[in-house]
Amino acid sequence: MGKRNMPEAITKSKILLVEGKDEVNLFNELLVNLDLTDIQVIEVSGKDKFPSKLEALVKKTSGYSKITSIGIIRDADDDPGGAFQSVCDAMSRLDLPKPKTPLQPVTGPPQITVMIVPDSATKGMIENVCLASVSDDPAMTCVDQYFECLAEKQRVLSQNAMPKARVHTFLSSRQWLEIVHFEYLQKCMQDYISDTPASSATAVPKVHAFLASRYTPDLNLGIAAQKSGREDGYWRLDHPAFEKIKAFLKML
């Protein structure tokens, strides 16, 4: 078995299966926010991989017998009921206990709880929750205007693609701010160095390298999540939009 296909070692008594790397970063930040230290977040590498990841977890992962609780969180996309049923079907094939409804823990062992995001009755994905947390941010007005302009030009995105597109557009406003800060600091340091003795001239490339290390060129949902605890952060993890997810995490 190749290294990439090896099951992830279990190091905690509770695990949370999520779709991708962005979700790993986001949920790890939420766990820190809630001071929950006994939950291990594991990426399944796409919603279609839940069955194979569950099978690997149950049959091939050392430490599975020590797991007391499994949480599974999946995007609703355009069919919340279908998303939930897909997870339940995967559990049935492995003779795992399956819940009758989302957010209803089923006793095991291990206990298993499933959440569909944004919720079991609403189409969408985790990006919708993140966007809801910044709905009153001034940049969102510009995001709305951007997509209105696209619609006028007959460049309409599918409903399934829209949340991700809006997330990237919102984060581009933060990237622009960081570019401005980077260029401003760069100019200040260059002006400072130009007024210092010639022996300091060799510091210029070091200054550029240092500032470049502080500039974030590739913001995405997951990286933004890691900055959300700051005063000037991105997603507002204390916003009511995240309350259902927080309640789910506390159930595990």
Give percent of the chain with pLDDT exceeding 90: 35
- Both 105 and 137 in a single domain? no
With cut-offs at 50, 70 and 90, classify the pLDDT of residue 201: very low
Task: Please identify, among 73, 90, 125, the residue that sits at the C-terminal boundary of a domain.
Answer: 125
- Both 119 and 28 in a single domain? yes
Mean pLDDT of 142-148: 86
Which of 61-70, 112-121, 134-143, 184-193 shows the highest mean pLDDT?
Answer: 112-121
- Both 109 and 197 in a single domain? no
- Both 146 and 95 in a single domain? no
Mean pLDDT of 146-160: 77
- Both 139 and 56 in a single domain? no
Give the pLDDT of residue 183. Answer: 66
The reply to whether 29 falls in a domain is yes
Q: Domains in the chain: how many in total?
A: 2
Report whether pLDDT(193) > 70.
no
Report whether pLDDT(11) > 60.
yes
The reply to whether 31 falls in a domain is yes
Instruction: Return the minimum-mean-pLDDT range out of 51-65, 72-86, 169-183, 235-249.
Output: 169-183
Mean pLDDT of 46-52: 87
* pLDDT digits 0-9 by tens, 158-172: 777 888 888 888 877
Report how far residue 164's alpha carbon sits from residue 206's, in angstroms, rounded to the nearest whole number: 37
Residue 188: both structure tokens together: 């200040």
- The whole domain housing 206 covers 126-234
- Both 31 and 134 in a single domain? no
Task: Please identify, among 125, 157, 188, the residue that sits at the C-terminal boundary of a domain.
Answer: 125
The reply to whether 242 falls in a domain is no
Task: Please identify, among 110, 125, 140, the residue that sits at the C-terminal boundary of a domain.
Answer: 125
- Both 141 and 225 in a single domain? yes
The reply to whether 251 falls in a domain is no
Report whether pLDDT(5) > 70.
no
pTM: 0.78
Q: Higher-confidence residue: 190 or 120?
A: 120
- Both 71 and 47 in a single domain? yes
The reply to whether 20 falls in a domain is yes
The reply to whether 249 falls in a domain is no
- Both 141 and 58 in a single domain? no
Give the pLDDT of residue 198. Answer: 44
- Both 101 and 146 in a single domain? no
- Both 46 and 120 in a single domain? yes
With cut-offs at 50, 70 and 90, classify the pLDDT of residue 139: confident
Q: Higher-confidence residue: 88 or 179?
A: 88
- Both 199 and 100 in a single domain? no
Mean pLDDT of 208-226: 57
With cut-offs at 50, 70 and 90, classify the pLDDT of residue 214: very low
Instruction: Return the minimum-mean-pLDDT range out of 12-21, 22-31, 32-41, 175-184.
Output: 175-184
Q: What CATH number is attached to the domain comprising 27?
A: 3.40.50
Give the pLDDT of residue 18. Answer: 95
Give the pLDDT of residue 180. Answer: 65
